[in-house]
């Protein structure tokens, strides 16, 4: 039986037949071939955005819908009643931190119509977009796209080759020469983009201002969240954390980071003697309630060292991850001091530990 995500996609693309759009990073022939965990990227005319969002809103079986608007794109997240999920990204400008790297109108004017009725960017612009999308983010082009372009017929590959060499002035032998992050060809492409008229002078300043405006709005409206996992050893915390992390990334397209116990702005005390890796390994392997320290003064000094890491480290985590929309997954966090401080070689009263959490709680 077709799930609600797929039913929506059939409805959506039927309604989109009269619109001018181009699917991006699309290496399929039909809607049925789209993987369940894949989002949909497309470039549209900015004038059509309002009408397209209305089509989305009128879809059936939508339990929750969220629009995340930036100056150049609108991210649309849909959660359906059966638990399926879909993200639609509507771009009307190709913008990477205030640098324009493709002309949206030119992409829309060079669209291929598939037998299924879907409109996709031409092979040349598909390759151009995928290459720039990853290289400008300092990431390698995924293997699935490399295999897709390698499987194209000679005519299509020749079209892409001519497009890339004439547009960017690169002297390559095969398209695969462009995949290396550090090749001279990539550097030439970056330089060519930086010197485009749209990225020069006043325009550059204007685009950068729009980018910083997006950043500020995101930090206010779309902050990340922190999730902590607590439990006795052997309860399956690590397994659950890994599973939650995978679901958040693959299904909900969230940026995540896993942190063990503390922000770790300050190193583990034993790392001064054993080295960072060995100290972290010993801490993970230490059984609950098995610390050997019995000195209250030593415990207090040790606790204050780690407590400072929580107090100041939480600002570091907040600005590095939370303000940038990350979901932070903590294994244990401060609660481990309250539940089992002896593991950290600390023998202080639980009341004192609980009191200390108020400052952490208020700043988290």
Same domain, 270 and 135: no
How many structural domains compose the chain? 2
Determine the Cα–Cα distance for residues 199 and 206; give it in Å rounded to an integer: 9
Mean pLDDT for 130-149 is: 93
Determine the Cα–Cα distance for residues 333 and 153; give it in Å rounded to an integer: 54
> Does residue 126 contact residue 26 with C-beta atoms inside 8 Å?
yes
Same domain, 79 and 130: yes
Same domain, 52 and 185: yes
Across 187-201, 308-322, 333-347, least confident range: 333-347
CA 3: distance to chain centroid? Answer: 25
Q: pLDDT at residue 17 above 90? A: yes
Give me the DSSP letters along 246-305. HHHHHTS---EEEEESS--SSPPTTHHHH-HHHHHHHHHHPPTT------HHHHHHHHHH
Report the SS3 class of residue 187.
Answer: helix
The domain in which residue 320 lies consists of: 225-363
pLDDT at position 123:
96
Q: pLDDT at residue 262 above 70? A: yes
Distance, first Cα to last Cα, the chain: 44
Mean pLDDT for 264-292 is: 60
Task: Give kind and range of the element (H or E) at residue 68.
Answer: strand 62-69
Question: Can you give the CATH number for the domain in which 331 is found?
Answer: 3.40.50.300
Q: Of 191, 218, 245, which residue constitutes the final position of a domain? A: 218
pLDDT at position 314:
87
Same domain, 162 and 242: no
Q: What are the tens digits of pLDDT across the range 87-103?
A: 999 999 999 999 999 99
Q: Of 153, 185, 218, which residue constitutes the final position of a domain? A: 218
| Structure token pair of residue 94 | 């190709």
Same domain, 37 and 120: yes
Q: What are the tens digits of pLDDT across the range 203-219?
A: 999 999 999 998 888 87
Determine the Cα–Cα distance for residues 267 and 275; give it in Å rounded to an integer: 10
pLDDT at position 347:
81
Determine the Cα–Cα distance for residues 316 and 318; give it in Å rounded to an integer: 5
pLDDT at position 276:
54
Q: pLDDT at residue 54 above 90? A: yes
Does the model's pTM come out above 0.85? Answer: no
Give the single-character DSSP code of 210: H
Q: pLDDT at residue 224 above 50? A: yes
Q: pLDDT at residue 278 above 70? A: no
| Structure token pair of residue 353 | 């530990």
Q: pLDDT at residue 274 above 60? A: no
pLDDT at position 346:
83
Same domain, 56 and 179: yes
Q: Of 163, 195, 218, which residue constitutes the final position of a domain? A: 218
pLDDT at position 168:
95
Question: Can you give the CATH number for the domain in which 213 is found?
Answer: 3.30.460
Q: What band does 238 get if pLDDT is binned at 50, 70 and 90? A: confident
Q: How many CA atoms lie within 13 A of 151 on its CB side?
A: 8
pLDDT at position 23:
97
């Amino acid at each position: 039986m077709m799930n609600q995500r797929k039913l929506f996609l059939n409805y959506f693309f039927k309604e989109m037949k009269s619109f001018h759009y181009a699917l991006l990073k699309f290496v399929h022939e039909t809607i049925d071939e789209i993987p369940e965990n894949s989002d949909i990227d497309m470039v549209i005319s900015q004038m059509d955005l309002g009408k397209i969002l209305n089509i989305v809103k009128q879809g059936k079986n939508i339990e929750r819908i969220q629009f995340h608007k930036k100056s150049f794109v609108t991210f649309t997240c849909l959660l359906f009643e059966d638990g399926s999920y879909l993200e639609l990204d509507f771009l009307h400008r190709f913008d990477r931190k205030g640098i324009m790297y493709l002309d949206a109108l030119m992409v829309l004017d060079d669209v291929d119509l598939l037998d299924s009725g879907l409109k996709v960017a031409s092979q040349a612009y598909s390759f151009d977009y995928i290459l720039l999308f990853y290289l400008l983010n300092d990431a390698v082009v995924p293997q699935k796209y490399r295999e897709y372009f390698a499987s194209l017929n000679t005519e299509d590959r020749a079209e892409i080759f001519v497009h890339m060499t004439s547009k960017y002035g690169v002297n390559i032998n095969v398209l695969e020469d462009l995949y290396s992050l550090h090749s001279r060809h990539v550097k030439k492409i970056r330089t060519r983009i930086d010197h485009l008229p749209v990225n020069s002078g006043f325009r550059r300043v204007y685009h950068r201002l729009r980018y910083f405006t997006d950043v500020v709005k995101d930090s206010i409206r779309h902050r990340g969240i922190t999730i902590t996992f607590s439990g006795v050893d052997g309860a399956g915390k690590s397994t659950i954390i890994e599973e939650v992390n995978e679901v958040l990334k693959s299904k909900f397209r969230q940026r995540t980071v896993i942190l063990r116990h503390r922000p770790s702005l300050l190193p583990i005390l034993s790392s001064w003697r054993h080295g960072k890796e060995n100290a972290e390994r010993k801490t993970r392997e230490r059984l609950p309630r098995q610390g050997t320290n019995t000195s209250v003064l030593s415990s207090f000094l040790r606790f204050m060292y780690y407590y400072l890491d929580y107090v100041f480290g939480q600002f570091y985590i907040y600005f590095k991850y939370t303000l940038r929309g990350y979901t932070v997954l903590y294994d244990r966090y401060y609660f481990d001091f309250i539940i089992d401080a002896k593991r950290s070689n600390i023998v202080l009263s639980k009341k004192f530990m609980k009191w200390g959490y108020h400052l952490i709680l208020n700043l988290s």
